Structures are given as C-alpha cells and as structure tokens.
Amino acid sequence: MTERRDAAPPTGFSLTLGRGVLYVATLACLAFAARALVVGAPPWPLAFAVLGAYLGLVTAGVVLMRFGMFLPVVTRGPRGAPGVALTFDDGPDPGHTERVLAALAAAGAKAAFFVIGHKADAHPELVRAIVAGGHVVGVHGYAHERLFALRGRKRVRRDLARAVASLERITGVRPVLFRPPIGHVSPAIAAVARELGLRAVGWSVRGVDGWSGARSERVAARVARGLGDGAIVLLHDGAERGTHEPAAVRALPTILETARQNGLGFVRVDAWLSD
C-alpha cells in the first residue's frame, strides 16, 4: 500500500508539555527514593503524599490527552494555518451520518470522521459514502470501550488492529488518523498507536453534542464561540450508546453558516499533520 509511507509514525523525539512534566516528576521521585536510601525512610505520610501526587499526575496525563504525556496529539492547526477542521465521532449511524454528509456537501466542506469499528462493519456503505464525499476516515477503536484506557497492551492491540483492518478492507486505504475512545491515552494505547502508525488527533472546541439531552441551538452557540483559524471541532454523527440523533446533526447547518459569515474555510485535519 502506498499509504503506508504516509502512515509512518513520527519517529523523531518530540518533547510535549505533558512528557516534560512526566520526566521531571519521575526524576524527582527517583531522587526522593535515593535520598530515602541514603538518609533513611521518610515519614509515611510524606511517602504516601509523594506517591499519590505521582499517580495523580499520571492519571491526569491519561485523561487530558491534549498535554501529550504519552503520545503527541494534534489539537490545533499549525500557527497561522487558515480554516477550521470539523471532526465527527462515534458513527457511522444510518440516518444521522447521511444528514451530516448532505450538510457538508451543501457547504462544500470536507471533514474527518472517526468511526467506531463495529459500526463501520455493520454499515460499510456509509463509510464508503464518507470517503466518496471527499472526507477522511479515522480510527476510533473497534468496540469503543469506556474503560479502554485501563486495558492491557494485548487487548488494546487486538481492538485497534481490528479497527484498522476493518477500515482498510472497507475503503481500500489504511487509516492514519486516530482519536482515542473517550479521549483517554494510556501508555498501552500510546504504544499500540505507534506500532500501528496511527496519529492522534484531539480537538480545541467541543460541541458537547453527543449526549441525548444536548440542544442543537446550544451546540451551535458553543461551537461558534470557539470558531477561528486553526480550530479542530469535536462533533458527533452517531450516538456513543443507543441510536438517538446527536445534536450536531441539526446544529451543523448553523455552524457551517457561522463559519462562512466569518470568512472561515474548512480544512481536513489530515492536512495539519506534520511529518
């Protein structure tokens, strides 16, 4: 596959904020342990406080993927890059995905769809419709487990490799983009993403549109506040659970019009990945 070349993971060392903080904290803990060996054990409350703070930091790194503690993640376009990148998670869903595609086509906008593997297998024609519309398809896990970040490397590999294989079989192109389920990145998820040549994509603006009580006017207003050059917008074309229509489906025409009125174009987020 010629796409394999593009799929190469970033091999260069990249010191993200999260990784730098992790290194400093790890060194500090090692120094604390070394000092304990030399001058004797510290008081237990202090030892527990240090251990607790370290575990808290690692947990924050897993949950807050934008800090890139375990995996570099793209959360905005490069400095000065014009346009907005729309992204849709948790589809494909019959009915909803088609409406999103129709709205995007009417506005001449291209976007990225992070599809759930088992839904893609159930509705391959929708995945092919996404690609036919000029959009890019990315990996969002096969099962989309809530506790994915607590799984071991073997199970993570089985899930993500299955999602990659499904999308490659359906579209004929090996996917490169990856949005971790729930947006959590554990060391195991980071390692497997590197193995599979996946590039993590986060967001700078959240629609908060996926839950069943979300209102489209509020979603449109929330996204409008964050629209600007370089923004990556997180929306949904499918419900994470169930089949309700994500509020983004109805909010999308307003979002597209707001962007147009502000002179903002639309960019596929894969255009913002550096090599």
Q: Give catalytic residue positions.
A: 89, 236
Nearest approach in angstroms of CB 144 to Zn ion is 6
Nearest approach in angstroms of CB 196 to Zn ion is 18
Binding part of the chain for Zn ion, among 10-18, 88-96, 164-172, 260-268 by CB under 5 A, reads 88-96
Regarding 159 and contact with Zn ion (CB under 5 A), the answer is no
For residues 32-51, which are near Zn ion according to CB under 5 A?
none
Q: How many residues bind Zn ion (CB under 5 A)?
A: 2
Nearest approach in angstroms of CB 93 to Zn ion is 12
Q: Which lies closer to Zn ion via its Cβ, residue 89 or residue 245?
A: 89
Binding part of the chain for Zn ion, among 86-94, 102-110, 195-203, 216-224 by CB under 5 A, reads 86-94
For residues 89-128, which are near Zn ion according to CB under 5 A?
89-90
Q: Which lies closer to Zn ion via its Cβ, residue 35 or residue 241?
A: 241
Nearest approach in angstroms of CB 89 to Zn ion is 4
Binding part of the chain for Zn ion, among 18-26, 85-93, 152-160, 264-272 by CB under 5 A, reads 85-93
Nearest approach in angstroms of CB 240 to Zn ion is 5
CB 25 within 8 Å of CB 50: no
Residues near Zn ion (CB under 5 A)? 89-90
